[in-house]
Amino acid sequence: MLAFVTLDQVGASTPEGRILFDNLTLAIGRERIGLVGRNGSGKSTLLRLVAGQGEPTSGAIRIAGRVGELAQRWPDDTITLAEALGVSDGLARIERLARGEGEADDMAEADWTLEHRVTETLAKADLPERDLTRTIRGFSGGERTRIAVARLWLEAPDILLLDEPTNNLDAPGRAAILALIDEWRGAALVASHDRDLLEHVDRIVELTPVGVTIFTGGWSQFVAAREARRLAATGALDKAESDLRRVKDQVQLQREMKQRKDAAGKAGRFAAGQSKLLLDFKQDRAESSQGAANRLADRQLADANEALDKAKARFEVLVPLNVVTPSVNLPSQKLVLAFDDVTAEAGGRVHFGPLSFKVTGPERIHVAGSNGAGKSTLLHLISGERTPASGSIRRLEGRIAMLDQHADALDPSRTLLENMRATNPELDDNAAYAGLARFAFRNKRAHQAVSTLSGGERLRAALSVLLAASEPPQLLLLDEPTNHLDIDSIEVIERALASYDGALIVVSHDPAFVQAIGCSREISL
């Protein structure tokens, strides 16, 4: 199989010298490769290296073919559709030739199939034929994504690089990305936390601090292999802890036996028939022997501790955190929320409505709709931060909380414990520490500054602060909580929300997340 990308023992580090990954050896042919790993593990760095933007700290990268990247944003929204598609020069050349104004270079470089290919590609990307001189300012986010996809179809590079391509995309935009990956016939390298997208790849490369692992198959196969590794890591940690206890017991037993022997030796040191010279010789030999025994015991303890440290490091990378949500005691028949013919407006334009629905007990509802449909507006109406243009809203006053992807409720200049106390002043020290510990912020971590947390840690911390209240929220509103989080962080949040016994209303474009937290109803805007 022809390799478009060859990675030979490649390593990469941060500018500060922290190793991201090393010894990555991989040949990529006509296949789709998914890159996974925690945020900061080096996924985007690897894509930049393949694109020729920088050099690896070790190893070599060989590229055979043209590289193309998905344009996820344009710095200037005044460019035309033709410019966004990368065909403005080619179309202008054809127009000059059609008017009889072209030169020899135009004739040599003209692509007479371009107009047909543009029309065909726009249709393939689910974009109706448009005026190519129109600026992209008027296109929605999903339409801009489809324009970027159409450009890749037209350019047809050999190697496709995608960095979190489905972030912030609505259903049509996600569908365009999945179609691109499914139909790509060159090499594709995709860094993503989107588990639905990762089902569409042929192999997955996982970057972790304890090494690089390559799996055959998509996300389902990766999960199965990951669970086996987690079981092995748990078993290795248990064995390392058991081995350390055994070595400590053996060393302690040896030292106790030596103490008893020394005590007996001192009692009979001047027994009849033994000279002082002989006794001193025996003592020196015993001390030398004990010194060797002590050094052996120290080495055994050091080896056992080192094995335990390695097992702990691997366990912490591979095995997920355990989080526990306290009960919010929401009765199954309690009315949580009621919308009666509610409409929402912004700038004189109706976002949605009239909308009527009820939430009773611990229901879980997914809010769906294209970008700009008013999903976030709906959450602000539910929380009481906005008022409806018409209609009425009944809600559980004081028992509703919003959790967004930025965890804005936390003060980044304060520690976790300070945030916990500021939000919940009724808690004593033990209760505040316990609230953080339930979400795996234990001991010294309670004193960590919020500004130093990763995105997933901030979200977990915000959830711990909300649910530690003496009257915790019985309805949680989630606005795209998983955007920009790595898969490990998403799964921790999923487990926490799955155990939450209150009601949830969730805005999310991540179908795997929606399913994992148990949403059974949908409101479409």
Regarding whether 369 and 342 lie in a shared domain, the answer is: yes
Name the pairing type of β-strands 335-346 and 390-395. antiparallel
Regarding whether 261 and 154 lie in a shared domain, the answer is: no
Q: Is 281 a residue whose pLDDT tops 80? A: no
Distance CA 143, CA 370 (A): 11
| 465 inside domain | yes
* DSSP character at residue 451: G
| 181 inside domain | yes
Distance CA 392, CA 382 (A): 11
Regarding whether 398 and 370 lie in a shared domain, the answer is: yes
Q: Which amino acid is at 281?
A: F
Peptide bond into 354 cis (omega under 30): yes
Regarding whether 241 and 123 lie in a shared domain, the answer is: no
| 105 inside domain | yes
For 238-286, the DSSP string reads HHHHHHHHHHHHHHHHHHHHHHHHHHHHHHTTT-TT--HHHHHHHHHHH
pLDDT 10s digits, 401-425: 988 777 778 999 999 999 999 999 9
pLDDT 10s digits, 178-214: 999 999 999 999 999 999 999 999 999 999 877 898 9
Phi, psi (rounded to 5 degrees) for 192: -160, 150
Distance CA 62, CA 103 (A): 38
| 182 inside domain | yes
Enclosing domain of residue 120: 5-219
Regarding whether 474 and 355 lie in a shared domain, the answer is: yes
Phi, psi (rounded to 5 degrees) for 512: -65, -40
Q: Residue 521: pLDDT band by 50, 70, 90 thresholds?
A: very high
| 323 inside domain | no
Residue 104 is predicted with a pLDDT of 82
Distance CA 514, CA 476 (A): 14
Average pLDDT, integer, range 516-522 = 93
Regarding whether 119 and 100 lie in a shared domain, the answer is: yes
| 196 inside domain | yes
Residue 436, Cβ density class (10 Å: 0-12 exposed, 13-18 middle, ≥19 buried) = buried
Joined tokens for residue 523: 């409101």
| 322 inside domain | no
Regarding whether 306 and 166 lie in a shared domain, the answer is: no
pLDDT 10s digits, 237-251: 888 888 888 888 887
Q: Is 280 a residue whose pLDDT tops 70? A: no
Distance CA 245, CA 247 (A): 6
Q: Residue 8: pLDDT band by 50, 70, 90 thresholds?
A: very high
Regarding whether 234 and 215 lie in a shared domain, the answer is: no
Regarding whether 348 and 276 lie in a shared domain, the answer is: no
| 324 inside domain | no
CB 131 within 8 A of CB 81: yes
Task: Indicate the pTM of the whole model.
Answer: 0.74
Regarding whether 248 and 192 lie in a shared domain, the answer is: no
Q: Which of 158, 185, 219 is the last residue of a domain?
A: 219
3-state secondary structure of 521: strand
* Structure-token match 């979190």, residue found: 164
Regarding whether 363 and 272 lie in a shared domain, the answer is: no
Domain with residue 103: its CATH number is 3.40.50.300
Average pLDDT, integer, range 475-493 = 87
Q: Which of 259, 283, 317 is the last residue of a domain?
A: 317
Q: Is 279 a residue whose pLDDT tops 70? A: no
Regarding whether 200 and 69 lie in a shared domain, the answer is: yes
pLDDT 10s digits, 252-272: 887 777 777 766 665 555 554
Q: Which of 198, 219, 240 is the last residue of a domain?
A: 219
Residue 340 is predicted with a pLDDT of 96
Count of domains forming the chain: 3
CB 343 within 8 A of CB 388: yes
pLDDT 10s digits, 419-448: 999 999 999 989 999 999 888 888 888 999
